[in-house]
């Protein structure tokens, strides 16, 4: 089990009375093993799936070298810094792709090596981990609609499937929990999973699975006798999807390089960030990536004469580094077009957590940035980005009332972005003396007109 999670007593999760969820069929697919052991593949299992569609892809999948990696911030529990921040530079010279600041790439990750090894052990698949197997529709299956999932290669190995193809941290649905119970030889473990799948135990399910994020591996390490077949997991766990990352540099500086920035949590690193941290330890590392479809959240040459209000929290500052680098390059070119104003409002835990703060200070000195306001939530006088927005509300409204001003927000797609939008509505309400309803509609209208552009991440 994840060392950061408290051990549980399964008896605390068994109700006296409950109605278990209907178990999933476990006979739709079958995994047929050969006797041949193969060397673990260095390629990615999903590359074998020739008809597989990659979400929002604007290019093919490329294998590109990691040219450079650096740590921008070291985690330090003593200073209440609970994550590290890293930056990697990708060499895209051989891809031929073209891009603009604000565009995103997607990286196809692998599941964490240790979790895959533990799953193989808990599923009694250690001896077959690298044995060639074939995934087929069970000939006894009577359902005509059953197919092998598109992201599952027809020939693979258990290691490859668990490493590359299946999201082993996928949310465990109640029906799957009920099915897992059928593979427990211990009655208490069986009752625990059956109860957790029931309607009556929804509160317990939400606590354990949705809030605390218990995964398949966690469940198998709690229920030691649970041994589900690989075919069940292949059919009912979701695909391991590519992860999107904002590009943090400008093609006007070097269009053969792409930089991305990501954070690594101490308590529970994400799948993709764990993968990237493992990768940069390798000699001559490469990753699989593709360019994602562009939207309006970008900064191009035509935006040079316009005003920008940029709002970011944490590593969501990354795309704006590309914006500002691009503006600096355009400013250095001969042009009769005066530049617009650019105002940046950024929130972070501490000053050292501001990405490339030295560059931001330099851009402020050179008037690439006209306003640079910071908020630190863990300083001696805590502030949030909403506080500095309120402090600059008059200037924000004055700029937004100009037709050539665009407002950009890049932040967490949950409570943080909602709170920032609430703050913006408050500014409109107070400074323009309009109702709260009118202020909310004003922000909606700005979004519809392309005057308010949002890039939120989950």
Q: How many Å apart are CA 110 and CA 107, to the nearest integer?
A: 10
Nearest to 55 by CA among 245, 241, 273, 271: 241
Cβ(90)–Cβ(245) under 8 Å?
A: no
- Using the Cα atoms of residue 196, residue 202, residue 205 and residue 207 in order, give the sign of their dihedral: negative
Alpha-carbon distance of 378 to 348, in angstroms, equals 8
For every residue of 143-174, DSSP letters joined together read -TT----TTS-SEE-HHHIIIIIB-TTS---H
DSSP 315: G
| Beta-bridge partner residues of 65 | 286
Enter the tokens of residue 8.
Answer: 């549980």
- Other Cβ atoms closer than 10 A to 143: 11
Percent helix, strand and coil across the chain, each rounded to 5? 35, 20, 40
- Long-range (24+ apart) CB contacts under 8 A made by 50-54 are 51/150, 52/150, 52/151, 53/150, 54/106, 54/108, 54/242, 54/290
In sequence order, which residues have a C-beta less than 8 Å from that of residue 110 and are 6 or more positions away? 44, 163, 164, 240, 275
Cα dist from 160 to 113, 279, 439, whole Å: 11, 17, 52
pLDDT of 421 reads: 97
Does the CA dihedral 312-105-247-305 come out positive or negative?
Answer: negative
- Is residue 304 within 8 Å of 252, Cβ to Cβ? no
In sequence order, the 6+-apart residues with CB closer than 8 A to the CB of 69 are 86, 87, 88, 89, 280
Within 13 A of 217's CA, how many CA atoms are on the CB side? 21
Classify residue 293 by burial, with Cβ atoms within 10 Å: 0-12, 13-18, 19+. Answer: exposed
How far apart are the C-alpha atoms of 428 and 438, rounded to whole Å?
Answer: 9
SS3 of residue 116 by DSSP:
helix
For helices 357-365 and 318-332, give the axis angle rounded to 10 degrees.
30
Q: Which tens digit of pLDDT belongs to each residue from 149-169?
A: 999 999 999 999 999 999 999
> How would you write the pLDDT of the chain (458 residues) with one tens digit per residue?
554 455 789 999 999 999 988 888 777 999 999 987 888 778 999 999 999 999 999 999 999 999 999 999 988 877 777 789 999 999 999 999 999 999 999 999 999 999 999 999 999 999 999 999 999 999 999 888 999 999 999 999 999 999 999 999 999 999 999 999 999 999 999 999 999 999 999 999 999 999 999 999 999 999 999 999 999 999 999 999 999 999 999 999 999 999 999 999 888 889 999 999 999 999 999 999 999 999 999 999 999 999 999 999 999 999 999 999 999 999 988 667 889 999 999 999 999 999 999 999 999 999 999 999 999 998 878 999 999 999 999 999 999 999 999 999 999 878 899 999 999 999 999 999 999 999 999 999 999 999 999 998 86
Q: What angle in degrees, to the nearest 10, is found between the helix axes of 187-196 and 174-181?
A: 170
What pLDDT is recorded for position 1? 55
Q: What is the pTM of this model?
A: 0.93
Structural domains of the chain in order of their starting residue, each with its CATH number: 10-37+111-236 (1.20.990.10), 56-109+244-291 (2.40.30.10), 301-456 (3.40.50.80)
Q: How far apart are CA 33 and CA 158, in angstroms?
A: 10
Cα 133 to Cα 144: distance, rounded to the nearest angstrom: 23
Q: How far apart are CA 195 and CA 19, in angstroms?
A: 7
């Amino acid at each position: 089990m994840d060392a950061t999670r408290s051990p549980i007593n399964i008896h605390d999760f068994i109700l006296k009375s409950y109605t278990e969820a209907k178990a999933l069929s476990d006979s739709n697919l079958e995994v047929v093993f050969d006797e041949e052991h193969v060397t673990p593949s260095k390629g990615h299992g999903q590359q074998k799936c020739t008809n597989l569609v990659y979400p929002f892809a604007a290019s093919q999948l490329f294998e590109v070298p990691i040219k450079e990696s650096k740590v921008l911030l070291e985690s330090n529990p003593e200073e209440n810094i609970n994550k590290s921040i890293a930056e990697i530079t990708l060499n895209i010279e051989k891809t031929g792709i073209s891009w603009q600041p604000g565009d995103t790439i997607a990286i196809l990750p692998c599941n964490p090596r240790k979790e895959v090894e533990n799953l193989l052990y808990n599923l009694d698949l250690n001896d077959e981990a690298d044995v060639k197997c074939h995934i087929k529709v069970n000939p006894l299956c009577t359902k005509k609609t059953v197919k092998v999932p598109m992201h599952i290669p027809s020939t693979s190995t258990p290691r490859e499937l668990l490493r590359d193809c299946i999201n082993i941290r996928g949310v465990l649905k109640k029906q799957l929990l009920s099915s897992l119970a059928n593979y427990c030889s211990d009655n208490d473990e069986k009752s625990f999973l059956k109860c957790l799948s029931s309607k009556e135990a929804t509160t317990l399910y939400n606590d354990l699975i949705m809030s605390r994020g218990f995964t398949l591996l966690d469940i198998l390490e709690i229920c030691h006798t649970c041994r589900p077949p690989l075919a069940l997991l292949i059919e009912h766990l979701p695909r391991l999807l590519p992860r999107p990352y904002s590009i943090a540099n400008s093609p006007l500086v070097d269009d053969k390089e792409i930089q991305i920035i990501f954070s690594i949590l101490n308590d529970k690193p994400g799948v993709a960030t764990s993968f990237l941290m493992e990768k940069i330890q390798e000699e001559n590392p490469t990753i699989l990536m593709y360019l994602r479809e562009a939207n309006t959240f970008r900064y191009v040459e035509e935006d040079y004469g316009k005003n920008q209000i940029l709002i970011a929290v944490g590593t969501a500052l990354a795309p704006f580094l590309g914006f500002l680098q691009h503006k600096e390059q355009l400013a250095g070119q001969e042009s009769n077009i005066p530049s617009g104003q650019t105002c940046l409002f950024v929130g972070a835990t501490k000053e050292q957590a501001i990405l490339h703060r030295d560059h931001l200070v330099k851009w402020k000195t050179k008037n690439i940035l006209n306003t640079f306001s910071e908020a630190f939530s863990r300083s001696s006088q805590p502030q949030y980005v909403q506080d500095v927005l309120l402090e600059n509300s008059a200037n924000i409204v004055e700029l937004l009332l100009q037709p050539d001003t665009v407002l950009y927000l890049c932040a967490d797609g949950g409570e943080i972005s909602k709170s920032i939008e609430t703050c913006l509505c408050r500014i409109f309400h107070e400074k323009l003396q309009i109702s709260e309803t009118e202020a909310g509609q004003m922000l909606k209208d700005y979004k519809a007109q392309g005057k308010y552009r949002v890039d939120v991440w989950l």
